[in-house]
Chains A and B, each alone.
Chain A
Amino acid sequence: MSLIDLANPTRFLALTARVLPWLAAATVIMLAIGLYQSANAPDDYQQGATVKIMFIHVPNAWLSMFVWAVMSIASLGTLVWRHPLADVAAKAAAPIGAAFTFLALLTGSLWGRPMWGTYWEWDARLTSVLILFLMYLGLMALWRAVDDPSRAARAAAVLTLVGAINLPIIKFSVDWWNTLHQPASVMRIGGSALDKSFLIPLLVMAIAFTLLFVTLHLAAMRNEILRRRVRSLQMMQASRAAFSSEAGSGSRGQNASNEVGAA
């Protein structure tokens, strides 16, 4: 990474340093309001209090897809515009997206326990989310497998875009597979129009979780930029070390080796 590449991220760091506290505060306030409203929402006449897990589950499920969309745009940025921040954004988003997807799965399965009697049902929706989760993990493994981030960025960008095209196909296939096999025994959740007493807290929670994502994403991007700076500084240090040892090797190297001999 040359110094010119760092110029733009530097502005990004300065900007986010100012924005992040406000974002974090807004997230906390929205979450507080959302949680309060969810707690006070009426129980469902069929599902009882378990319906309240929806206020956590739905925002997570929504974000699990939204984050992939963000990564796809970032990948376009990497491949088409070669924006220096694009692959940072894509890399930072992947673990957060995986975490939201995992929470969607977890809350879904906790919800399923009283509804279906098992923690897991190969329901079309849950299964699609599970595949999405696997794809997030694969993407993270790809980022981890290659040491040099700029080289990994291209591969990850291609994979992300292929995933974005493939996800609807996967969703469709899973739906088809599921209706092929599944007798209509599974109780469908949602479906009917939601009452306003549910809808408002749900919207507030969705906004709160989106804010949470933006906050976490910006913070993770800052970390990633700093990590890359550390890396390039280390590489500079490695080459500088060679240079200085060559410059002074006549006397220095000799002295040091004498020391070794005497030891």
Chain B
Amino acid sequence: MTALSALIRRDIRIALRVGGGALIGVLFFLTVVVLMPFAVGPDLALLSRLGPAILWLGALLASLLTLDRLFMADHEDGSLDLITMSQTPLELACAAKALAHWLAAGLPLIVATPVLGLLLNLDMVATSAVALTLLAGTPALTFTGMIGAALAVTLHRGGLLMAVLVLPLSIPVLIFGVAASQAVIVGPMTFGAPFSILCALSLVSLVVGPFAAAASLRHGLD
């Protein structure tokens, strides 16, 4: 346990220091959301109808694009070798790194959601519904995105290729995340059903993600 908490603490510390990327994700989120009205027009009624979708797309892109360097940085400076050799199973180390990334880059997105909801003319209930679905859904994004980040190390390529690989995997999360938020705002579905599926997706990815990432990293060693 000390090993894992040490890893989590280190990753969060690096993300928050100078040169770390934790807050850039939020800035990206903000920018994407602000761009939307310029494309669809400033019609408040339309924006509030599209609001949950815009917020979800923004959060999806923000959390996946910041994942790019999750393993790459450790690979480049040799830390990944030592992590692989240690007594801590690589799967657990991957999970710890993803958790640290979610705490440093995913949680701020959820904190920023109310402000952005204001810009999109969402009321209190709608905003909290979106924030709640993001809270339940972003772990799934991080833990599936982690697989792409591990593949980026294996393939020695990051950036767009990773996005192309991972974005299709996150479609179910997007569907049920937006569905649950829309259910609160317009109905007719109940909030519970899509939200439960969203939670289930997060839990499944919590299990699958670390194993897939660790397997990919093991093969990528050279």
A→B interface (CB under 8 Å): 109, 118-122, 127, 130-131, 134, 137-138, 141, 144-147, 177-178, 181-182
Closest chain-B Cβ to A62's Cβ sits at a distance in Å of 22
> How many interface residues does B have (CB within 8 Å)?
19
B44–A122 touching, CB < 8 Å: yes
Closest chain-A Cβ to B39's Cβ sits at a distance in Å of 10
Asked if A118 meets B27 with Cβ closer than 8 Å, knowing A144-B18, A147-B18, A181-B41, the reply is no
Residues of A within 8 A of B47 (CB): 122
| Other 18 A-B pairs with CB < 8 A, given A122-B47, A144-B18 | A118-B121, A120-B119, A122-B42, A122-B44, A127-B42, A130-B119, A131-B34, A134-B30, A134-B34, A137-B27, A138-B27, A141-B24, A141-B27, A145-B19, A147-B19, A177-B38, A177-B42, A181-B43
Q: Does B3 contact A (CB under 8 A)?
A: no
Q: A144 and B31: CB pair below 8 A?
A: no
Interface presence of B37 (CB below 8 A): yes
Distance between Cα atoms of A113 and B166 in the complex (Å): 41
Contacts of B34 in A (CB 8 A): 130-131, 134
Question: Are the CB atoms of B44 and A141 closer together than 8 Å?
Answer: no
Closest Cβ of chain B: how far from A56's Cβ, in Å?
A: 19
- Inside 8 A of B24's CB, which chain A residues have their CB? 141, 145
Once the chains bind, are B44 and A146 in contact (CB under 8 Å)? no
Contact (Cβ within 8 A) A119 B118: yes
Closest 10 CB pairs of A and B: A122-B42, A181-B41, A181-B42, A120-B119, A122-B37, A119-B118, A120-B118, A137-B27, A141-B24, A147-B19
Q: Which residues from A are CB-within-8-Å of B118?
A: 109, 119-120
- Which of A145, A146, A182 is in CB contact (< 8 Å) with B42? A182
Bound together, the chains give a CA A134 to CA B27 distance in angstroms of 8
Residues of A near B37 (CB, < 8 A) are: 122, 127
Q: How far is the CA of A177 from the CA of B41 in the complex (A)?
A: 8
Residues from chain B with a CB closer than 8 A to the CB of A178 are: 42
Q: What is the minimal beta-carbon distance from B23 to any residue of chain A, in angstroms? A: 7
Select one of B19, B21, B27 contacting A146, CB under 8 A.
B19
- Taken together as a complex, chains A and B put the C-alpha atoms of A193 and B220 apart, in Å, by 70
Name the distance in Å between B144's Cβ and chain A's nearest Cβ. Answer: 26
Q: Which residues of B contact A120 (CB under 8 A)?
A: 118-119, 121
CB under 8 Å from chain A, chain B span 135-182: none
